[in-house]
Amino acid sequence: MLGMKAYETDEKELIMEPSLKWAGNPNIIVVVKAFGLKATLQVVDLQVFAIPRITLKPLVPSFPCFAKILVSLMEKPHVDFGLKLLGADVMAVPGLYRFVQVFCCHCLLNQTIVTNNWLMHPYASVNGKRTKHYHTSE
């Protein structure tokens, strides 16, 4: 976490905007199947930058001190990573870096819908059944 903004309001709520940066070298193996071919890729040098707005409201006297938590993204998160195929850096191929970054980030953000800056997961599992989950503002 690089920093945090906190907002003072007249409501019984706490609004925070942490600036989050995470970088690591995870050992993520992805198997890609396309056109009858199977390839094993390794994700390396993963970096994620995001600025979420976290609202805790209403504040209450008993633990955990709030009744509801709302999370929204102030801007589209930045995700950067490298890919290795058979130990070779795939992202070094000219023109491929930008294509892979845009394609993968687009697919990732389609899994998690960002509308009007609200972060929503489109499906939740309830009693083993897939149901749509929507955020309601109030």
pLDDT in tens, the chain (138 residues): 778 888 888 888 999 999 999 998 888 898 888 899 898 889 899 898 988 888 888 888 888 888 888 888 888 788 888 889 888 888 888 888 888 888 877 776 666 555 555 554 444 444 454 444 444 333
Instruction: State how beta strands 52-59 and 66-73 pair.
Output: antiparallel
Coil, helix or strand for 82? strand
- Contact status, residue 41 vs residue 84, Cβ threshold 8 Å: yes
Number of H helices, E strands in the chain: 1, 12
Sign of CA dihedral 102, 105, 111, 117: negative
Q: Distance (Å, rounded) from C-alpha 38 to C-alpha 97?
A: 20
Between the two ends of the chain, the Cα-to-Cα distance in Å is: 29
Residues 6+ apart with CB under 8 A from 36: none
Q: In the prediction, which pLDDT does 104 show?
A: 75
CA atoms within a 13 Å half-sphere pointing along the CA-CB vector of 28 = 12
Farthest-apart Cα atoms in the chain, separation: 60
Residues in the chain, overall count: 138
